[in-house]
């Protein structure tokens, strides 16, 4: 599946995997994020922490009526304000996709899959 963008020079197709990887990379750079989580929780409610090569497994790209919606599954650091971390992730992901791809994202939905204590 790909996202089609029309420019004055022609049509550009961008793979959803590329968009998901850029969004995941932008999210992990935010303060308070331990990492990305898989969208499917493992048994007993435990979330799998994804490595750099698997960011796209924690990001879902939906295209509905010419609008792009992104669902992100994250794990936050213990002691941080979850609402602030989620807001920072939303704004950074939206900004990065706009700057890198010229992609206008309608919404970035954050799903916190867990809280982890990070080693100092």
At 19-67, the pLDDT tens digits run: 998 998 899 889 998 888 877 665 445 455 555 556 677 889 998 888 8
> Going by DSSP bridges, is the β-strand pair 49-50/33-37 parallel, antiparallel, or unpaired?
antiparallel
Tokens linked to 111: 């799903």
State residue 100 phi and psi, 5-degree precision. -80, -40
**Tens digits of residue pLDDT in 69-113:** 999 999 899 999 999 999 999 999 999 999 998 888 999 999 998
Residues 6 or more apart from 90 whose CB is under 8 A from it? 108, 110
Q: Are 36 and 113 in contact (CB under 8 A)?
A: no
Domain 2-116 top-level CATH class: alpha beta
Tokens linked to 25: 């990379």
Model pTM? 0.81
DSSP assigned state of 68 = E
Apex 117 CA angle, 115 and 120, nearest 5: 145
């Amino acid at each position: 599946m790909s996202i089609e963008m029309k420019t004055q020079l022609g049509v550009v197709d961008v793979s959803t995997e590329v968009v998901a990887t850029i969004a995941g990379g932008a999210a992990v750079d935010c303060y308070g994020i331990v990492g990305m989580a898989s969208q499917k929780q493992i048994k007993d409610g435990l979330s799998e922490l994804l490595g750099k090569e698997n960011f796209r497994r924690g990001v879902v790209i939906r295209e509905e009526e010419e609008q792009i919606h992104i669902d992100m599954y994250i794990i936050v650091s213990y002691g941080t304000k979850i609402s602030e971390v989620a807001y920072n992730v939303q704004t950074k992901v939206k900004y990065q996709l706009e700057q890198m791809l010229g992609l206008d994202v309608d919404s970035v939905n954050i799903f916190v899959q867990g809280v982890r204590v990070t080693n100092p």
